[in-house]
Structure 1
Amino acid sequence: MAEHDRVRVYEAFAAALLEHGVDTVFGLMGDANMLYAGDYQDRGGRFVRVVHEGSAVGMADSWSRMTGRVGVASVTHGPAVSNTLTSLVEAVRSRSHVLLVTGDTPREPTHFQRLDLAAVATTAGAGYEKVHKPESLVRDLNRAMQRVLAEDRPVLLDLAIGMLRQDAGQQPPVARAVPRARGVPSEEQLGGAIGLIAAAKRPVVLAGRGAVASGARDELVALSGRIAAPLATSLLAKDLFRGHPSDIGICGNLSHSVASRAITEADCIIAFGASLNAHTSFHGEIMAGTKVVQVDADPGAFDWYTRVDEAVAGDAKAVAAAINEALDAVEHRPATGWLRGIQQEAASHRPSDDFQDRSAADTVDVRTAMIRLDEVLPDTRVVVSDIGRFVVGVWPYLRVADARDFTSMGAFGSIGLGLAGAIGAAVARPGDLTVAVVGDGGFMMSMAEFTTAVRERLPLLVVVLDDGAYGAEHYKLVHFGMDAGYSLNDWPELVPMAEAMGARGMTVRKPAELDALTEIVADLDGPFLVDVKLDPNVNVLA
């Protein structure tokens, strides 16, 4: 075979990625990936260049959440891989479909960048696969992609640097990965759950992210009607039932007053695809003394955070449909008076009813700011949140038109991942406005990645909730009777920094100043930063 006719491993790998339908890769180039990254772009693939390797995984993670497809990140060896660890754990905890491609260092025992890749994957909770030899390249990639979907977690694929320029030889065909089967339990397995549901006088239907992923909204709305139940969600399913008269919003420590009363009075909670974690269950308090039915595709979810009376393993959509059929068969007729009262209260409830606005002359109450932002932004938008003290003033008030349009980069509890997540979402949804909501500490931690949004000209609104402090620590220092000044930071002004990076921005000290965003976001051709000034002494957790 002539030299120019040979197909090398890096070329075969780039071609195989595209055959798998991978049209976007997030990454930072180095010795272990630059050959196939370049060839991949030559073949028409999009390679989104990041500033930090952790951001590549964060972007692939969020991109996957928004598209429902496998997100792919590519980094070089050694320290590049260790830089991804926090974002990789976040993706694992979120059960995201992410393939992280890296490669072992050259086969030299004293190589100063050597790192045990399998150990890194294990530490993060991710799967590990490797390309064993040039001839098994496609087969090994097929298996890695299949495991991502089958196991609902990221997989690290090790394509060793020493193999890249070798002859790829004869390869098997690309085999598209198949999602995990979601079964329907038998009538016998459903019997106990249906009995509890039919006997309930004040039931609540609770949907989690699993219900969103399975497309169960219509079935759960139908179930609500059959059993006269309010409709609630976990945080990651927020706004799934927006606009429905039985919608009471988020269940747990972010519930508004009407939802809190309904959930407290409930005698049965039927949860679909919700983990019932400490936040949703308010550390178990709101479900104490209440019958709980939990439906989840993962049997490992049962009794992990909250005790369960009836556990049903199965897909949320399919199980909800089966329960509806069973209730129809017995002609179940619930009393509707309790639900009507909840509906009337919910219809008259306003977001500002449950708090006193604490805006001042030069600072804004974060809750008031988010209510105003919700009003001025287009209804169709994607919202990606970092985490921090500010979130309790954001998540209940900044809404989305579709539950799939919201995500939070907070499953591992690390600040600083929100900006990368928002960039990944903006790449996934180029026709929509993406709103990143971050704290000032998290933004400063990831600020360099703002240049990626500038370079890609993404329609991204970055809202920095700026109290000049690490807010959670400020609150805790006050609580412990210590000097809260230790949590304060003296940042540079953020808008000039954004402008120096090639973007635009504005500083907000009064809620009405947010109104200008209506026109600004109508024609965004790149990121826009909004620095919302908050008072660190206003504690929305109190």
Structure 2
Amino acid sequence: MDSVAELIAEVLADLGVGHAFGVVGSGNFQITNGLRTRGVGFVAARHEGGAASMADGYARLSGRPAVLSVHQGCGLTNAITGIGEAAKSRTPLIVLAADTAGSAVRSNFRIDQDALAVSVGAVAERVHSAASAVADVTRAYRTAVEGRRTVVLSLPLDVQAQPAPPYQRLSDPAQPEPLPSVPPFPVRPAQEAVAALAALLASAQRPVFVAGRGARSAGLEISSLAARSGALLATSAVANGLFRHDEFDLGISGGFSTPLTADLIEGADLIVGWGCALNMWTMRHGSLIGEDAVVVQVDDDHSALGAHRPISLGVLGDCAATARDVSEALPTTKPGYRTSTVSQKLAQSRWWNDTPTPDLSSDTRIDPRVLSAALDDLLPTERMVSIDSGNFMGYPAAYLRVPDEKGFCFTQAFQSVGLGLASGLGAALAQPSRLAVVATGDGGFLMGISELETAVRLGIPLVVVIYDDAAYGAEVHHFGPDADLGAVTFPDTDLAAMATGFGAKGVTVRSLDDLAEVKDWLSTPQGVLVIDAKIADDGGAWWLAEAFRGH
């Protein structure tokens, strides 16, 4: 290793980072090549914003930290929306951001990178010198992985160019390991908290568990406790699929809930949030919490407890460890909410696919619910669904069922339109054995269309479903027909032809009959299929009314 840039790449590869994504410029050329030569996979995106979302999607579904590599200044600012989404989602992501030299006070690239990172919720770190480089990089890695944070690691050009000091790989028997490589043990809850939660479960008649992002690795433990305590199981949107094979899975709690599952959650006398914020989206502004329901929250972050609503009990602890301890503390197993009547109802209408709705299809446009239900039947069971933001997003979230929590990527923490295609690409690389499906609106698709070339270039099978209403639908329905909507409505555009120009297969769908081409493609998936689905006006999606209520 001749330089600190190569040393940084060596340390990250040694620590075990997953895939890297980025757009290469002069400031990050050497470090990116350093990662590539050390076996870290790299995808060259067409825009730093796309690269950031790819890294976010990969880290969410792979179980390994991803790397984003960007040029100093403008490279970082181009990526900042994707970095903000990752940071707000607590995605373990390391951003390698080249930075101007300390003496380059007049550089056009000079910005306050640390302040920019902190402003969107990321952690700002920096490689300060050749002597501290190993410790600086290791600290950033541990913060990302053990703290579940997005870390922007600034790499000044003058420091990158310094000669690298000697370094021994962690696998070298002579390596003294100055920083422990073993992660800390999970946070165990206090005995008093375990006893209090066990007592509440023992007395509850209709408990409901709602698991969120922080519980995605604790599904088995929470399921076991639910069976012992008689609790029904639900998730926030980002943890969709966690309990998919459980008889008493309610699916997503919140705006995407079916009428039946919403009623069951509203009927709970005890709601326990596991690694879940219980925010306005998951609890429909609190309307899913019964008047007399007791609310408990379990989280390993003290600041998360009670952050969005009053709670009766806050348990500070790792979700899996807490579930195990509470299960052992329960005196007996009880049926609770898990009755034969509830089981029968769920078997009949657990999903929106089984819930009758009016068909709004016309001669030229297809009802988005009809489209989504048909796609759910056509697509293989082993799928990975990534969803962009927009008025449409409830349809794929509610209708396209996924096999487990590793089959769903939902980038909504920043509520930014246009991240879906790129995050879906990253997620696809994390789950290569599953068919990747990206659901997006026409606005979001056009915002991120540059990465369609990346998808075609990668050559992986990918389905892109565009819910095309020729508008920014959320704004159309929010402001209503009496407003001047000229700024948020557009002429009908042939998006299938655009996709064909990028090298994908484009299909326009206006009715169920048009899905025949989709069925043919799915028989032997190859390359990228873009479905331009011309959807009927839904008058404002059911979830959208919930989202805007009270705003």
Query: TM-score band (shorter)?
Result: over 0.9
- Quote the RMSD (CA, aligned, Å): 2.0
Secondary structure of 2:401's counterpart equals coil
Secondary structure of 1:435's counterpart equals strand
Q: Please say if 1:347 is aligned against 2:326.
A: no
Q: Please say if 1:294 is aligned against 2:297.
A: yes
CA contact (8 A) 2:27 2:98 kept: yes
* Most deviating of 71-80 and 178-187: 178-187
- Residue 361 of structure 2 is aligned with which of 337, 359, 362? 359
TM-score by length of 1: 0.93
Q: Please say if 1:205 is aligned against 2:209.
A: yes
* Most deviating of 283-292 and 400-409: 283-292
Q: Please say if 1:379 is aligned against 2:375.
A: no
* Most deviating of 241-250 and 468-477: 241-250
Partner of 1:270: 272
Secondary structure of 1:283's counterpart equals helix
Secondary structure of 2:285's counterpart equals coil
Partner of 1:38: 33
Deviation at 1:129, TM superposition (A): 1.4
Aligned partners of 1:497, 1:169: CA distance in 2, in Å? 51
Q: Please say if 1:281 is aligned against 2:283.
A: yes
Aligned partners of 1:272, 1:367: CA distance in 2, in Å? 30
CA contact (8 A) 1:474 1:536 kept: no
CA contact (8 A) 1:257 1:354 kept: no
- Residue 70 of structure 1 is aligned with which of 60, 65, 86? 65
Q: Please say if 1:250 is aligned against 2:245.
A: no
Secondary structure of 1:269's counterpart equals strand
CA contact (8 A) 2:507 2:517 kept: no
**Kindly tell me: are residues 179 and 284 of structure 1, through their superposed partners in 2, closer, same or farther at Cα, counting changes over 3 Å?**
farther
Letter of the aligned partner of 1:207 in structure 2? A
Q: Please say if 1:192 is aligned against 2:196.
A: yes
Letter of the aligned partner of 1:422 in structure 2? G
Secondary structure of 1:205's counterpart equals strand
1:89-488 maps to which residues of 2 (within 5 A)?
Answer: 89-106=84-101, 107-171=103-167, 173-174=169-170, 178-212=182-216, 214=217, 216-287=218-289, 288-327=291-330, 330-334=331-335, 339-349=339-349, 351-478=353-480, 481-488=482-489
Letter of the aligned partner of 1:324 in structure 2? S
Deviation at 1:371, TM superposition (A): 1.0
Deviation at 1:485, TM superposition (A): 4.3
Aligned partners of 2:250, 2:5: CA distance in 1, in Å? 53
Secondary structure of 1:422's counterpart equals helix
**Kindly tell me: are residues 284 and 538 of structure 1, through their superposed partners in 2, closer, same or farther at Cα, counting changes over 3 Å?**
closer
Aligned partners of 1:228, 1:537: CA distance in 2, in Å? 38
CA contact (8 A) 2:373 2:400 kept: yes
Deviation at 1:532, TM superposition (A): 0.7
Aligned partners of 1:99, 1:178: CA distance in 2, in Å? 19
**1:493-514 per-position Cα deviation (integer Å, ceiling 9, x unaligned):** 1111111111112111113433
* Most deviating of 439-448 and 423-432: 423-432
Secondary structure of 2:531's counterpart equals strand
Partner of 2:531: 530
Aligned partners of 1:221, 1:279: CA distance in 2, in Å? 23
Secondary structure of 1:487's counterpart equals coil
User: Which blocks of at least 5 consecutive residues in structure 1 are unaligned?
Assistant: 1-5
Partner of 2:491: 490
**1:2-46 per-position Cα deviation (integer Å, ceiling 9, x unaligned):** xxxx62223323322322223521011111111222243334432
CA contact (8 A) 2:266 2:287 kept: no
Secondary structure of 2:124's counterpart equals strand
Partner of 2:79: 84
**Kindly tell me: are residues 90 and 180 of structure 1, through their superposed partners in 2, closer, same or farther at Cα, counting changes over 3 Å?**
farther
Aligned partners of 1:316, 1:209: CA distance in 2, in Å? 11
Partner of 1:505: 506
Letter of the aligned partner of 2:339 in structure 1? L
Letter of the aligned partner of 2:58 in structure 1? W
Letter of the aligned partner of 1:507 in structure 2? T
Deviation at 1:347, TM superposition (A): 1.1
**Kindly tell me: are residues 171 and 42 of structure 1, through their superposed partners in 2, closer, same or farther at Cα, counting changes over 3 Å?**
closer
* Most deviating of 179-188 and 150-159: 179-188
Letter of the aligned partner of 2:298 in structure 1? V
Partner of 1:3: none
Partner of 2:175: none
Deviation at 1:524, TM superposition (A): 3.0
Letter of the aligned partner of 1:137 in structure 2? A
The sequence identity of aligned pairs, in percent, is 36
**Kindly tell me: are residues 442 and 450 of structure 1, through their superposed partners in 2, closer, same or farther at Cα, counting changes over 3 Å?**
same
**1:30-70 per-position Cα deviation (integer Å, ceiling 9, x unaligned):** 11111222243334432210111122211111100011111
CA contact (8 A) 1:72 1:101 kept: yes
TM-score by length of 2: 0.92
**1:195-236 per-position Cα deviation (integer Å, ceiling 9, x unaligned):** 211111111122222221x2x223333323222222222112
**1:269-317 per-position Cα deviation (integer Å, ceiling 9, x unaligned):** 1221211010111111221431112111222111111211111111212
- Residue 57 of structure 1 is aligned with which of 29, 52, 57? 52
Aligned partners of 1:202, 1:354: CA distance in 2, in Å? 27
Aligned partners of 2:322, 2:356: CA distance in 1, in Å? 36
* Most deviating of 249-258 and 521-530: 521-530
Secondary structure of 1:29's counterpart equals coil
Aligned partners of 2:63, 2:39: CA distance in 1, in Å? 22
**1:119-168 per-position Cα deviation (integer Å, ceiling 9, x unaligned):** 11111221111111123222211111011123221111111112333311
Aligned partners of 2:182, 2:464: CA distance in 1, in Å? 36
CA contact (8 A) 1:230 1:342 kept: no
Aligned partners of 1:353, 1:23: CA distance in 2, in Å? 41
Letter of the aligned partner of 2:345 in structure 1? E
* Most deviating of 378-387 and 118-127: 118-127
Deviation at 1:537, TM superposition (A): 5.5
Aligned partners of 1:314, 1:540: CA distance in 2, in Å? 37
Aligned partners of 1:312, 1:392: CA distance in 2, in Å? 31
CA contact (8 A) 1:59 1:421 kept: yes
